Amino acid sequence: MHPILFRFGSFTIYTYGLFMAAAFVAAIFYLSYLIKKSKEKIISQNDLYSLFIYMMIFGIMGARLLFVLINLNEFILYPLDILKVWQGGLVYYGGFIAIIIYLYIYAKRKNVALLDLSDFFAPALALGHAIGRIGCFFAGCCYGKESNLPWAVVFTNEYSLAVIGKSLHPTQLYEAFINFLLFVFLHFYSKKEHKLGMSFAIYIMSYAVLRFAIEFFRDDYRGMQYFGFSISQVISVFLFMIGIFVICRKK
């Protein structure tokens, strides 16, 4: 694949960074569209832009922090590499948790229901995540195990983070495709009348199942194992339980 999009002398544009930027832009445009179409506005356009900037900052910091913790031995040797987020190395769950914490603080300060905000942002999270995973595919991070399937991919670029020269599961594309389907479902589901928190519950439960399954096909280092499960799988179980709790409470 193509981890580096192009170079101008010593200035490098990474494909991963480009898709991450595209993910945030797509999400903000989608949310802006929802506000324009919605009769009951949870937040204004101006509030959305300021809120989204903080969410983006918290999301990147949280995603990077969890990645650093998982790969702590590597970053102890090269601490300045912590700042090189444009080269890859973001764990989605770290960003997701950081965003939820910030949304909780925002909801308390603005006297808005957290589940209202969560429902509003759920489809955009799925959309942004789908686009971001394409960036992972180009960078070669989050790569899969060896596979003989017809759609297996071979990474050949020397700058790729994936294992080079072997047929691998395109786990990044699996996740991108299913996240996009989840976005489409949540987009139409959100238009229907439903109880508060249901869109968010469906999102976290669906993604938890997806991520739990995908982890079995991934072959990159994902930190310590707990009873044979990765950190992301453990988080997936907790998120799935939270989703069930939200649904049962509403019923």
What string of pLDDT tens digits covers the 251 residues of the chain?
A: 778 877 777 777 888 888 988 999 999 999 999 888 877 777 888 888 888 889 889 988 898 888 888 878 777 777 777 777 666 677 889 999 999 999 999 998 888 888 888 999 999 999 999 999 999 999 998 899 999 999 999 999 888 889 999 999 999 999 999 999 999 999 999 888 778 889 999 999 999 999 999 999 999 887 778 888 999 999 999 999 999 998 888 66
The answer to whether 136 and 144 have CB atoms below 8 angstroms apart is no
- The four Cα atoms 202, 174, 63, 97 give a dihedral, to 10 degrees, of 10
- The residue behind tokens 């699996």 is 174
Let me know: does 103 contact 145? Beta carbons within 8 Å.
no
What amino acid occupies position 45? Q
